Chains A and B, each alone.
Chain A
Amino acid sequence: MSARRPLPRWADILLLPAINLAMAFLISGLVVLMIGENPLYAVQVILYGAFGYGDGVGYTLYYATNFIFTGLAFAIAAHAGLFNIGGNGQAYVAGLGAILVALALDQTHWLITMPLAMIAAGVFGGIWGLIPGYLQAKRGSHVVITTIMFNFIAAALMVYMLNRVLKAPNTMAPESETLDIGGRVPQLREFIPFFGYSPVNLTIVVAIAFLVGAYILIWRTKLGYQLRTLGHNPVASRYAGMSNSKLIMIAMTLSGACAGMVAINEVLGVQNRLVLDFVADAGFVGIAVALIGRNHPIGIGLAAVLFGALYQGGQELQFVIPAVTREMIEVIQALIILFTGAMEGLFRPALERGFVLMSVEQKAEATARATVDSES
């Protein structure tokens, strides 16, 4: 028996995710086929809806902006070995910080409002991540369970805030007052008419900066090294003199702050006010994005665009083929999470065996054995 060998790097980061992705799409295609529609036509509609014209591209990028933030949030925690399922709650609560600053400063200029709102959103989201982090680090409560609970607590808190505290006086709907121009992030369409009426805004630049920043943080700083050490082996990091509990809290805070940037895109960039449930499960999409993107900023960027395209194309889909509603996108997303996240073990062993068989040393070994066999 030869020992299992790890896959070559390219197969690990490209081939395996591609196979898993293909499986998810294949099964989704079968579902579409099952209800009597043509899956290839559906793919065509999605692709055109997402990339075929300016508005579509703009919407794709707008969704992708959210998913970059939540994907990075999940990835930062994952590098430290933490499963942060609370991106939704963190982004939601961050909306509170964002709107408070934006409402206070919306008579000034967006160049003042946006950075300060980002800080506020980061602080609020960060705290919403820090508490579960603290509870994990100091009290040993499982971060997955706590973050799930915090999602629900956040939802209740925000409904309360929107109904009782922030509600605009002249409206029935549970939403805050609308921001004046000084509280709004400029839309890309103001500079690039190509984007039509789509809501993609300057926040996407922030998102790209965050991707670069995350790369530097994780692979080029001492803190990043410590976080990864913790993620790989908590005993080793402890032995090397790092404070695991401090690192857990830092990781969760950074993760929450990162998820909180969704609030900038949505509240200052698109809605111009705080509305109920503005996160729209972007936190959960972030899990899929990070899994597909292998927790690497480049992968996350690409996966975020993929999911942005699915979301935008999915909207289009339900106009063209009414039988295929946009929930189909949720199904695809779930299958992607299932195959790349939970059922990774489905294809990896076979792939590893395949590569071992193909490798040069193995051939040499096999030949040698064959020779010995024939001689004896």
Chain B
Amino acid sequence: MDIDLILSMANATLRLATPLLLAALAGLYSERSGIFDIGLEGKMLASAFAAATVAAVTGNVWLGLLVGVIVSILTTMLQGFASITLKGNQMIAGVAVTMLAAGMTTFLGQTWFSQGGRTPQLRGDSRLQQIDLPFADQLAGVPILGPIYSEVLSGHYILVYVAFLAVPLTAYVLYRTRFGLRLRAVGENPKAVDTAGISVTMQRYQAIFITGILAGLSGAYFSIAQGAGFGNEMTAGKGYVALAALIFSKWRPVPVMFTCLLFGFLDALQIRMQNVDLPIVGQVPVQAVQALPYILTVVLLAGFIGKAVGPRAGGVPYVKER
């Protein structure tokens, strides 16, 4: 294996891990507060569509990003209203939201732009630009660290850096702030939190608000950064991979990052491995690599390699009294 290949694989891994990481962190806030979220995919789709639409119409990518996030928050609030206020089934709410987003985005896309559900191609300022980190060119000559800095870490979209900065931030918020303590508490034992005079409902809404923001960033990444416009079902199940990553890392922020990097790497590998003959094993079917995140998650959930136990109050609506 030559060095260029390794560097480009590392670069691709970061690129592909980013939307997973943002979405998984989004899920982390929600699930840690006791709201199971299988609607991540839906929020991402809604945001991807909204961001691309606004960016295409106004030509301003930042406005697109903002609207994408707002739409994602609204979608999350709808899901939250069903699962928190109305105490409905959280799983059904997630399924419904995802389906709604999938249907609405294609429907509105076709109605507004008449390009088979696609939004117009984004060019120039209507799409996020890759950022070169300072001194990337100058440092490229430094042995070992130079290429890593200039070719792997530099030259990504801003959302990539946001995603990785969100990891320590989330860890800090979750474990070192009063908000984080309460958030974890409503996910484990809402009754205790309620007894302490803190509103479980309010706490959960605050948590899913953050979920909405992060899922929105993740969705927008697909349409205004990685891609140049929205296409049908463009998040392609990544919301569920993120969910898998979240479970795989047992709902903890730093392991979430490593799991997303692993899944991102698998994705990069899968693209690279198409029609490549390996020694001994021969051609590895692409599908096997594609299915690996899901298989790993099932195996982990089953407790064959460690045990993944979610927040104790997860999935149960909080009823004050009967």
Task: List A residues at the B interface (Cβ < 8 Å).
Answer: 31, 35, 83, 85, 135, 139-142, 144-146, 148-150, 152-153, 156-157, 159-160, 164, 284, 287, 291, 323-325, 327-331, 333-335, 337-338, 341-346
Contact = CB atoms under 8 A, between A and B. Distances in A.
B83 A342 contact: yes
Interface in B231-246: 237, 240, 243-244
Interface residues of B, number: 50
Nearest to A328: B107
Interface of B: 36, 38, 78-79, 81-83, 86-93, 95-100, 102-104, 106-108, 110-111, 117, 237, 240, 243-244, 247, 285, 287-288, 290-291, 294-295, 297-298, 301-304, 308, 310
A233 B36 CA distance: 22
A152 B294 contact: yes
A325 B93 CA distance: 24
A148 B240 contact: yes
A338 B100 contact: yes
Given A153-B291, A156-B291, A342-B83, A327 B110 contact: yes
Nearest to A331: B103
A333 B97 CA distance: 11
B190 to A, nearest CB: 18
B100 A149 contact: no
Nearest to A149: B294
A325 B88 contact: no
Given A284-B95, A342-B93, A142 B310 contact: yes
B107 A146 contact: no
Contact of B99 (A160, A164, A284, A343): A284
Contacts of A344: 86, 88
A345 B87 CA distance: 7
Given A149-B244, A337-B99, A156 B303 contact: no
Contact of A145 (B79, B243, B288): B243
A80 to B, nearest CB: 15
A287 B89 CA distance: 13
Nearest to B301: A141
A31 to B, nearest CB: 8
A291 B106 CA distance: 25
B247 A145 contact: yes
A330 B106 CA distance: 10
Q: When A and B form their complex, which 7 residue pairs have the shortest distance between CB atoms, in order from nearest?
A: A330-B103, A341-B92, A345-B86, A334-B99, A334-B100, A141-B301, A342-B93
Given A152-B240, A164-B285, A331-B103, A342 B110 contact: no
Please report whether the interface of chain A is mostly helix, strand, loop or mixed according to DSSP.
Answer: helix
A331 B109 CA distance: 13
A160 B295 contact: no
A343 B86 contact: yes
Contacts of A149: 240, 244, 294-295, 297-298
B38 A144 contact: yes
Contact of A342 (B82, B295, B308): B82
A253 to B, nearest CB: 17
Contacts of B310: 142
A137 to B, nearest CB: 11
B302 A338 contact: no
Contacts of B104: 31, 327, 331
A135 B88 contact: no
Given A140-B303, A145-B243, A338 B97 contact: yes
Among B78, B104, B302, B310, which residue has the most Cβ atoms of chain A within 10 A?
Answer: B302
A330 B99 contact: yes
Contacts of B81: 343
A74 to B, nearest CB: 11
Contacts of A338: 78, 82, 92-93, 96-97, 100
B96 to A, nearest CB: 4
Among B83, B87, B100, B298, which residue has the most Cβ atoms of chain A within 10 A?
Answer: B298
B291 to A, nearest CB: 4
Nearest to B283: A164
Contacts of A157: 287, 291
A325 B38 contact: no
A334 B100 CA distance: 5
12 contacts: A83-B89, A135-B302, A141-B301, A149-B240, A149-B298, A156-B287, A164-B285, A329-B103, A333-B99, A334-B96, A338-B96, A341-B89
B220 to A, nearest CB: 21
